[in-house]
């Protein structure tokens, strides 16, 4: 995490962030994405189903 007190000024912040990007670009490796479009659709459906009872309960509380 970066906070405003970590750097003396914008120049130092800029140099630090650019050095981080350079380091990440040098060490980056490709990865195999394991989620298919179908997996993501199923996950979103499950999340939606899980959230519906909470939303319905909130509506009932507001109405009361």
Which residue shows structure tokens 């980056």? 28
pLDDT on residue 33: 85
Q: Which carries the bigger pLDDT value, residue 54 or residue 17? A: 17
- Give the number of domains in the chain: 1
**pLDDT for 57:** 58
Average pLDDT, the chain: 85
pTM of the model: 0.45
DSSP-assigned states of every residue in the chain:
---GGG-SSHHHHHHHHHHHHHHHHHH---------HHHHHHHHHHHHHHHHHHHHHHHHHHH-
Cα→Cα distances 27→8, 22, 36, Å: 28, 9, 26
Domain that holds residue 29: 4-63
């Amino acid at each position: 995490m970066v906070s405003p007190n970590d750097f003396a000024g914008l120049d130092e912040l800029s140099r630090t962030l650019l050095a981080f990007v350079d380091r990440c670009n040098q060490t980056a490796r490709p990865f195999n994405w394991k989620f298919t479009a179908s997996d993501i659709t199923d996950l979103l459906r499950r999340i939606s189903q899980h959230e519906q009872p909470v939303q319905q309960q909130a509506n009932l509380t507001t109405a009361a």
